[in-house]
Structures are given as structure tokens and as C-alpha cells.
Structure 1
């Protein structure tokens, strides 16, 4: 190549480099500004949508305020007159005011009137069941402290998102008293969304946040949206940019995710401007380059021939450290100096290239992810040390010898081979990141996330592997937890309702539903403790689950309620399942008398016109009907559980109750107590200390004396026992005696400080018998004492703790220390 050709080449490269640099810098600066403008534009459009939504809710609130502040409404909430309904709540009213739901609720939380209207079909529909769960006496929807109170927002219902407004019902002068609450609702359905879209001239989409979101852009938006950054912007494609914003419900929880698609007009204009600018640069560069070449050819190149030798020498040596030596201070010398500068830059560039290669090789080796480079024929040409650890293969075994097909699970091989082929045709046609199953040297399979990119200018690709086995297992565990009850292992209510909705289409009719309710669970929790209550729940779950196959839908749908869904089951099959449950309960109670179960069971089967929601109500009603019939069995089971609790926490297992029954019977007969009252006295002897189930074990079984604070805590067992007895029909007759059985003759007892005849005779009899038995038998804090010592203690307490006449009678009966036998 001649000197002239080299010079022309250098000028051409220089001009081209300048064009590229100027184009890149200007494009970067321009695009950065345009991106900010585009994001600001997207933010403004999202805020417009929010303003439009707020206006819709404000309109609904004003409408609710007009209706709530009206004398006719103020009177209707009290008398419920039909004239008000006929005049104001006819079907035509709802389309006129664009309303789906209206509820009139009095101050007690009772729904005086409610109506729901389908604006699409123009027909009245049932009031959505989902909103009834939010209409409770303590609900925020009903909490209006003054006449100016109002509540507006969004409520997520199974039927769809609902815009609602809640206002207190006042007179036409907006004065009290507040007689209740008026709730108006408008479904945020496709019609409302289209109306907002037309109003804002934007494309809108709404996603419920109480449902799983699988779209990648929605998942990304949910991860990015926060209080600090309420609006997330994302480029969809060259035509649209999307803005995402989460809207809370009336409870302040994220409810809906709005997506607003904004046309990228600014971007399109910037693309056109960039192309025009680039074309101008190219034309200008070509013109300038030609002028320079002509000028150099005329004034410089002829003189540069003398430099050919030096430059050729440098070129042959290949060492850019050499320099051109030209004397003088004219254009030629400056050119030589420029050549030297170019050589200097070339030297630094080569040093930087070597440094860059070393840097990238270091990154490849020290990255924490297993990384390989794959050839077009699927051979692994290079692997790092992390891949050695992950796969179990050494580099000599892998590099240039092994195909990646050997580390892929057979079921994933076809997919990955297709990806491998398409990636070399069009890298955008296949995902850059995806999951597959990795098989190591020992045959162990790992769930793996692979990220693959083509190396520019080659047919090689670089792949990074990340072991996500633990993450996948955690996801499976979370999925299981989300659908199952943690205590019993049965399906939970969320899964039950999901299955109920799935079966509501009628494709698996007839559908049977069995509802089971564990009787007296709250009572057991409050008295015996939650551990026993949990044991009852587990036993009930095992009994019900044991009546069905492993794959059948058995769920715990409430604290004490279970349900079984039986698709494609007629009434005979469901009744047979009902009988299996009842037989299993009886078998359990026969084998576990210490923890008996009382379960009320009801069932129902769908008919052609019955929805599954109505089916659930029918089964639930049948269950409660059986609960009323089984009240005696429930009380019997409760008494057994209480007796077991006393055996565990008191001294009944050592004969304490039996001895007391004998003692109170003998003393009662000696003082003229009737046989009926003696039977109640025996019941008192058995359950007088039932309140001790509420006393901590460290106090109840303390081996030494109790501190004053511990004594006060122990004194509470009389009141606890009184409340328990009041809750059990069989113990109501002795509830008052349980409360007063620690009162003293002189008024120094507890809890009421009664004295003398204010204390029931039965309690005075019982206190002597209880004291005698406590003295003559072992206690945690002391050993048993003799009969004589016990009598002396009773005599010392006569007139203070005990009724003196009854003490005298008791000592007389026991003067010869005979053994008392029951009748």
C-alpha cells in the first residue's frame, strides 16, 4: 500500500470515528432528555387516570350524601315503608344514577334494605355475599362519628372491584341524630374502565392484587411500586410506554394495579431527529474528508514520501514504541509529531487491550456462578471453577470434550436443543433466561436457572448457571401452606372457596357438600385451654379425613368448622358418607373416652336451580339443626372433658373428689339436707375446683407456701369456676356454691366476704369437709396429718372460718374416727 493510500485511509478512519463519537454523544444526551420527558408525560397521564377515578368516587360520594341527607331516608331507616322503595328504588333509578348497589343499614348493623342491579343486563341481582362480611357492627363502613363523616374507596369482592361511598343517614338539613348508614356501590367493571379510558383518551387495564399475577410486566410492576415510588414506568415497545400504579382499598391495603399505555410520540420524533442528524453528520464527514484528502495530496503527500522508510520500518518491527525522527518546524515535522502521537496512543491502546483481556478472564474465573462457553456444535469449550464444583467434572474432562447435552435432564433436552438452534438464527426468538434440570456427575438433579447470551461476532454463547433447587422447594412449601390449614393439615378455606367456585359451573353435577362443626370448642379453649382445644381439632380432622380418600376435598373452613366437597355424588352417596362420619365419631369416642368428640354434621346435594353458595347454606342449616338435637350429647362430652382436666390439674385422681362426696353426704344428712341437695353437694365435691384450670401450674403445684401475690391469683379460681359452671347446663345449679365455697363464717373469706348465714348451708358443709380432707391427705406443700390434728384444726377455726354448730356436729360424727362409706 502506498503512502497516499495509507493517508487517505487514516483520514477516512478519523472522519468516521468523529462521526460515530458525535452521533453517540448527541444521541445519548438527546435520548436522556427525551426519556425524562417521556417518563414525565407517562406520570402525568397516570395521574390523570387517578384524578378521573377520584372524580368517579367523588361523584358517588356526593350522590350518597344527597340520598343519606334526606328526611324520607331518615324516616325509612326506622319504619322501612314500602312507599319509599316504590318511589325511589325502582329498577329505572339504578341506570339513571349509574349505580349497582345500595344498602340501608341501621345503627345496630342490621340491613334494613339492600338492592343490587346489573346495569349490563338491566335486571336486579342478589346482593353480593362478599360485601356482607364487611357489614359488621364494628366495621369501618358503619363507623360515622358525626354528621360530616363519610367513607369512600374501593372494596374487592369475589364479584369484582366495587367503588363505594358510605354516609350517615341524616335529615334534609344534614342534622342528627344519625339513624344508620347508606352505602352506595358501583362496580369497577369493563364499562367503567372503558368510560375512564375514553375520558382520558388512554388505554387502561386493571389487575386485582388478591389474585395471582403471571404476566411478567405485572410482576415487575408489583416489585417496583412502593410508597416512595408510587408510579412505575416501563417501556412496552416502540409504540407504547406503560405506567403502573397501585390503588389501595378502604382498609389501606393494595387492591388494584392500574396499567396506563401511553403512545411514545416523543420517542418517535426523537428517532426521526436522530436519523436526520446522523445523515447530516455522514454527509458533512464525507465532504470534509474529501477536501482534506485533496489538500493533503497537493500540499503534504508529496513530501511524506521521505517518511516512507521510517514508517515502513516501524510497521515491520510491529513495535509501536518506535518514533519518527523528522527535523524542522514546518508542516512535515508536525505531521511526524502527529505520527508519533498516534504511535503513542496505539501503544497505550494495546496495553489497555491486554488489561481488558486479563480483567474479563479474571471475572470469568472468579464469578460466583457456574459459567461455560458453548460452541455451535454444543461442545463446552471453556468452563470456570464454579462449574467444576457444581457439575462434579474437572475442566480437562469438560473443555473441548463434553457436550452440554450430557448435563441436561432427558425431559428438557428437546427444548434446549431447539433454543440452541434458534439462538444462532435469531437471538431474540428465544428467552435469554429460563429454567431447566441440571444433572451432575453423580446423577443428582438440580433445578437450575440459566442465562445465555451470544458472544458478538461469533457462533459461541456464554451460559451462567444458578442452582435454584432450594428456592423451588420453598415455593412449593409456600404453595402448600397457602392452601392448607397449619394445625390439621387439611385444605384451608381459601382453597375450599376456590374449589366451590370451580364446581359452580355445573360440569361435575350433582355436587354434595358435608359441613361438620366441632361442638363446644370455644368453651374448651376458654376453660381447659387451647392445647386441649387443638387436640380436639386434630382428632376431629383425623376422624373426618379418615372417612374419605386422600385426594378428596376435605377442608377446615373455620375455627371449629370442616367441610367436604363431593363432586358427581348423588344424595345416596352423600348420605352414605354422612353415615361413615357418624360411625367414625362413635368409634373414636369408644376408643378415646378421655377426649370425646361431639360433632354436628349436616349435608346437602345440588339440584338444577341451586347454586353452590345456596348449597353451602343448606348444608350449614342442616348442621345447625342437628346441633340443636344433639345438645345433650354435647353437654355430656363437655362434662367428660372437664373431669379429665380436673384429673390432670388437681387431685381427683388421688380420690379427693370421692372422699369429699362421702364426707359432705354424711354431714349433710346429719344436718337435715334433702337427698336432692345432697346429690348437688356431691356434684360440688367433684367440680368445686374446676376454676383451677385457669390457674398457672407454677402456683397450683408449688411445693412451698404461696406469696401474697400468688394467693390472690389462687383466690381467682372460685370466680373462674363460677363462670365455667354458668356455661355448662349440668353445673348451673352449683355455680353459686362454687363461687362461695371459700367464704368464712366471720366474713374473712373470699371472693365476696360473706359471713354467717349469708353463706349457703351447702358451702358451710363443704368447707369443713374440704378442710378435713386437705389436712389428712398429702398436698404439694406438705405431708398428710393425723385425724386428731385435723379435728384440732377444725376446732381452732370454729367461729372464724367454720360454722361452729357444723364443726361440733362433724366432730361428733367423727369422734370414734370411723370410715365413712357412700350409700
Structure 2
């Protein structure tokens, strides 16, 4: 083969590589393909300029600079593309070093100073770049196939082949062109491996996505329980493999709507996942949990008698309490039935379990909701400056207020509930805003104002408290219509809201907080009266005056 044909073949192969890498870059928009494409181009320039230098009797300084700069830049781009492919950061030293060598060669070549020492340093630098790229390949965890390892060792052989060229010139036994040819062949193999590595990574990514999709079909993403879709699609096989007789249980989490309305769905999802984890740990891996929908789950216990299933379910309830002693209480209502043989219709068995579960839920969900409300009250006392003593004082005052205006015993109980729960929505306001000692910013004040709506949602979530939700929502409305959140005025504001607004303001004024001093009762009454007809119902202020004057006279005796 003649020298011209070798050159032609080399250029052809390089152009094919350049086109393929360029196509991959423009189609995939991956920066490592850009780096590798540019490396092919610059190393082709290195090869062509080297050929021109060999055929020229008096080598041009410009050709020497082009040959050197393209060579250093080409190998740096190989290194750069490899780091980008594996998403590895590296010290800027590698970029600065490459730029320095190119700049130093230009200065030295222009001055006519011998460049032998710098060329040898450059060989060391190129070997270092390829060795660093090799280590990146070998240390990476993905792609997991052998191509990554092969590319790493190819880089090492490429680095060693770079050393051949100066060695051939030094020992003068093998023509230098052989070293140059070996480096070119190994480099070609490296570029082919780079492309193969990319396709390997794509294949593994597709396999991973397929596995994730398959997992999403089989398992519920949030809780890790089996999905209803998978269960229904594999029902016949599942029942054939299930040890009979078997217990079938329907379970439903209590109070999650209340938690979602208070803390948001993210917290509700966290509690749901936590509850399923505790449930699975308690009943054991041999028993199957299926997320049936929303907060409902089906449990199938192969070979477990109904009485033993009952023991396991009681253990679940106990473990839910034990594992969450200082957090939002959660509970599950269960309903159980018994599979005696495979001939029994599954739909009928599920309906039986569901009916029993809803029957139990009528009693249990009420207890859970009230337990959550009690927990929220205690949490608010810890989070805000409000104390249990503040709530008790309000309770006493609104009871007197209710009696004074002729409310029935049932209405006074409701009024007391409003007084105790009017600020429950503050549980959804960040603590740093609640305890801020200076003035709130407009943004902070906007967040603070939302507590009325949060309190409304909390009380609405509980059937036992829904009747006081409108009063909780309206306790910051003003008589003149300039309050929030709805801008109600006068008699549009619920009566209980108007009463609690007066009593709460009075108690806050007369008790010290870290950000203000307490006012004496008489001065506080003056302030309340100043706001009559503006913030407060003027008639109710008159009633409050009478109550407090009687109380203050008694206390003064």
C-alpha cells in the first residue's frame, strides 16, 4: 500500500468518525459528543499537518504550531468528553495546563528556540490526560457492561502508544511512522468504543426505565404495596397460589383528610407510607398488602385463621401508636372476612370485609379525629405564644358571655369550642412568623392571615367540629367589613366569631408576650371600647363591659 493510499484511507476513516459523532451531537444535543467530535477534527488536522511537515524540506513555523496545538487540544477534548459523559467534575488545572502548553509552544516556535524539551513535556501531558480519562472509565459504576472497562484499557494502550513515537526516534530501530500508525489505530479503536459506550448507556437507561415502569405497574409508588391494577390483572394466578383458607381484610386510614387539610398532602402521603410500612412489618412479608384506592388497603393472609388475623390487626394498631408517640396520631379501621376455598367470589368477599370495615370506622374515626385535634392543640401551644392557660381563660369568659346574652347550654358548648379552636389554623403557619417580635412583612402577614382558612378546613374535616367551622373562619372579620378573610361586616359575621374576637383581643392585651408588655384591665377595656363599631360589634362590647366591670369589682374587693 502506497503512502498516498494510507493517507486517503486515514482521512476517509476520520471523516466517517467525524460525521457520525457530529450526527450524534446534533441529534442528541449531548456536550460530550461535541467534545469528541471536535477531538476527531483536531486530531485529523494534527495528522494532515504532520503529513505536510514530513513532505516539506523547510518546515513552516505556522504548520508546526498548527500540528502541536491541534494535537494537544485533540487529546484534551478526548479527556473533556469523557469527563462530561460520566458527569465528573475535575480540577481546572487540566484546562489551564493544556492552554499553557499551547501558548508556550507558540512563543517558543515564533522565537526560533528549540522545542524538543517542550515536546517531551507534551507527550507526558497527553499520557496524563489519557490516563485520567482511563481512570474515570474504570472507576465509574455505569454503564455496567464490559464496554466501559474496555474503553478504559483502550485509553491506557493509547497513552502507551503515544510513548512509542519518541521512543522510535530515540532508539532508531523502528521507523517513527510505526509508532505514529499504532497510536492512530488504537485511537480509532477508542473512538469506536466511545460510540459503543454511548449505545450501551442508552440500552441500560431504557432497561432501567422499563424496570421502573414494570415496578410502577406492580407496586404502588407511594407506599410500596401491590397496586390494584396488578392485583386485578394477576388475580387468577394469585388465588391459585394462595394457601387456603385465608383471611381477607379491608383497611382504611382514619383522619388523613384532616391531616392533609392541616399540613398538606405531602405530610398526609408521608403518614400513609409510614403506616403501610408499620403494617407490613407487623403482619410479616408472607401476608400481602394491596393499595385498593386512596386510603383503603386490602390485606390477604394465606393460611391464617380469622382469630389469628384479628390478633395481627390489633398488633398493627398498637404498633402505630408505639412507633409514633410524639407525632400526629394515625389509626386504621379494619374489616375482616374468611376465604374458605377458591370457589368463593372475590368481589363478594371484598364487599363483606368493606361493610365490616365501615361499621368499625363509624366509631374509630371519630376517636382518631378528636385525638388529632387534641394533638394539634398541644402542638400549637408549643409553637405559639398561646398557652393552655390562655385557652382556659377564653373558655371561662365566653361561657359568661353566652350566659349573659341568653344562649342555651348547647350553644354555650359550641361557643366554647370556637374559643378553644379559633386559632387552630396557626398550626399551618411557620413558627418563625408566629414568634417574630418585630412587625411582620407584607409577605409574612399574608401567610399569617391564612390561619383562619386553615382552621376552617381543619374543623370542616371533622364531622364533630364542622358546625363551628364558619365561626372559626370569621373570628378576624371586623364589624366595619375591613377584616379578613371574606370581608364580612356587621351581622354577616357569625355571632360566635364576634364574641371570640372581643374576648381574645382583651386577653391578649392584658397578658404579657415576649414582644409586648401587658396592659391593666381598665386600660384594656378602654381600648376595646375605642374599637366598638369599627372592629367589634358595639352591642357585644356593651355586654362585655358589663361582664368585666362586675368581675373587676369582685376582684377589687
TM-score bracket for the superposition, by shorter chain length: 0.5 to 0.7
Q: 1:577 aligns with which of 309, 313, 338?
A: 309
- Does residue 737 of structure 1 match 2:471? yes
| Distance of aligned partners of 1:768 and 1:446 in 2 relative to their CA distance in 1, 3 Å threshold | closer
Q: Give me the whole-angstrom Cα distance separating, in 2, the residues matched to 1:548 and 1:799.
A: 62
- Does residue 663 of structure 1 match 2:367? no
Q: 1:518 aligns with which of 253, 257, 263?
A: 253
Q: 2:418 aligns with which of 684, 693, 711?
A: 684
Q: What secondary structure is seen at the aligned counterpart in 1 of 2:276? A: helix
Q: What secondary structure is seen at the aligned counterpart in 1 of 2:545? A: helix
Q: What secondary structure is seen at the aligned counterpart in 1 of 2:465? A: helix
C-alpha displacement at 1:624, in angstroms?
2.6
- Does residue 604 of structure 1 match 2:337? yes
Aligned twin of 1:619 = 353
Q: Give me the whole-angstrom Cα distance separating, in 2, the residues matched to 1:814 and 1:738.
A: 27
Q: 2:277 aligns with which of 521, 542, 549?
A: 542
C-alpha displacement at 1:595, in angstroms?
1.7
C-alpha displacement at 1:357, in angstroms?
7.0
Q: Give me the whole-angstrom Cα distance separating, in 1, the residues matched to 2:9 and 2:507.
A: 94
Q: 2:546 aligns with which of 806, 809, 818?
A: 809
C-alpha displacement at 1:770, in angstroms?
0.5
| Distance of aligned partners of 1:488 and 1:747 in 2 relative to their CA distance in 1, 3 Å threshold | closer
- Does residue 589 of structure 1 match 2:324? no
Mark the structure with the bigger radius of gyration.
Answer: 1
C-alpha displacement at 1:784, in angstroms?
3.4
- Does residue 448 of structure 1 match 2:141? no
TM-score (norm 1): 0.39
C-alpha displacement at 1:641, in angstroms?
5.0
Structure 2 residue runs without a partner (length 5+): 22-74, 83-136, 149-188
Aligned twin of 1:562 = 297
Aligned twin of 1:767 = 501
- The structure with the largest helix share of the pair is 2
Q: Give me the whole-angstrom Cα distance separating, in 2, the residues matched to 1:475 and 1:498.
A: 18
User: Is the contact between residue 492 and residue 555 of structure 1 (CA under 8 Å) also seen in structure 2?
Assistant: yes
| Distance of aligned partners of 1:647 and 1:585 in 2 relative to their CA distance in 1, 3 Å threshold | farther
Q: What secondary structure is seen at the aligned counterpart in 2 of 1:624? A: helix
TM-score (norm 2): 0.55
Q: Deviations over 1:304-358 (max 9, x none)?
A: xxxxxxxxxxxxxxxxxxxxxxxxxxxxxxxxxxxxxxxxxxxxx7556545776
User: Is the contact between residue 514 and residue 578 of structure 1 (CA under 8 Å) also seen in structure 2?
Assistant: no
User: Is the contact between residue 510 and residue 518 of structure 2 (CA under 8 Å) also seen in structure 1?
Assistant: yes
Q: RMSD in angstroms over aligned alpha carbons?
A: 4.8
User: Is the contact between residue 660 and residue 773 of structure 1 (CA under 8 Å) also seen in structure 2?
Assistant: yes
| Distance of aligned partners of 1:355 and 1:716 in 2 relative to their CA distance in 1, 3 Å threshold | closer
C-alpha displacement at 1:818, in angstroms?
4.8
Aligned twin of 1:486 = 221
Q: Give me the whole-angstrom Cα distance separating, in 2, the residues matched to 1:364 and 1:575.
A: 74
Q: Give me the whole-angstrom Cα distance separating, in 2, the residues matched to 1:722 and 1:636.
A: 16
Q: Give me the whole-angstrom Cα distance separating, in 1, the residues matched to 2:421 and 2:292.
A: 34
| Distance of aligned partners of 1:640 and 1:618 in 2 relative to their CA distance in 1, 3 Å threshold | same
Q: Deviations over 1:85-135 (max 9, x none)?
A: xxxxxxxxxxxxxxxxxxxxxxxxxxxxxxxxxxxxxxxxxxxxxxxxxxx
- The structure with the largest strand share of the pair is 1
Q: What secondary structure is seen at the aligned counterpart in 2 of 1:815? A: helix
User: Is the contact between residue 251 and residue 357 of structure 2 (CA under 8 Å) also seen in structure 1?
Assistant: yes
- Does residue 496 of structure 1 match 2:231? yes
Q: Give me the whole-angstrom Cα distance separating, in 1, the residues matched to 2:294 and 2:493.
A: 41
Q: What secondary structure is seen at the aligned counterpart in 2 of 1:562? A: strand
Q: What secondary structure is seen at the aligned counterpart in 1 of 2:416? A: helix
Aligned twin of 2:94 = none
Q: Give me the whole-angstrom Cα distance separating, in 2, the residues matched to 1:552 and 1:616.
A: 16
Q: Give me the whole-angstrom Cα distance separating, in 1, the residues matched to 2:481 and 2:554.
A: 30
Q: Give me the whole-angstrom Cα distance separating, in 2, the residues matched to 1:762 and 1:622.
A: 39
C-alpha displacement at 1:530, in angstroms?
1.9
Q: 2:517 aligns with which of 778, 781, 784?
A: 784
Aligned twin of 1:728 = 462
| Distance of aligned partners of 1:364 and 1:581 in 2 relative to their CA distance in 1, 3 Å threshold | farther
C-alpha displacement at 1:545, in angstroms?
1.2
C-alpha displacement at 1:554, in angstroms?
2.5
Q: Deviations over 1:217-244 (max 9, x none)?
A: xxxxxxxxxxxxxxxxxxxxxxxxxxxx
Aligned length: 387
| Distance of aligned partners of 1:363 and 1:610 in 2 relative to their CA distance in 1, 3 Å threshold | farther
C-alpha displacement at 1:537, in angstroms?
0.8
Aligned twin of 1:90 = none
| Distance of aligned partners of 1:564 and 1:352 in 2 relative to their CA distance in 1, 3 Å threshold | farther
| Distance of aligned partners of 1:722 and 1:362 in 2 relative to their CA distance in 1, 3 Å threshold | closer
With 695-704 and 550-559 compared, the bigger mean Cα shift is at 695-704
Q: Give me the whole-angstrom Cα distance separating, in 2, the residues matched to 1:805 and 1:754.
A: 18
Q: Give me the whole-angstrom Cα distance separating, in 1, the residues matched to 2:362 and 2:369.
A: 12
User: Is the contact between residue 500 and residue 612 of structure 1 (CA under 8 Å) also seen in structure 2?
Assistant: no
C-alpha displacement at 1:625, in angstroms?
3.3
| Distance of aligned partners of 1:753 and 1:358 in 2 relative to their CA distance in 1, 3 Å threshold | closer
| Distance of aligned partners of 1:491 and 1:360 in 2 relative to their CA distance in 1, 3 Å threshold | farther
Structure 1 residue runs without a partner (length 5+): 1-348, 369-384, 390-439, 452-461
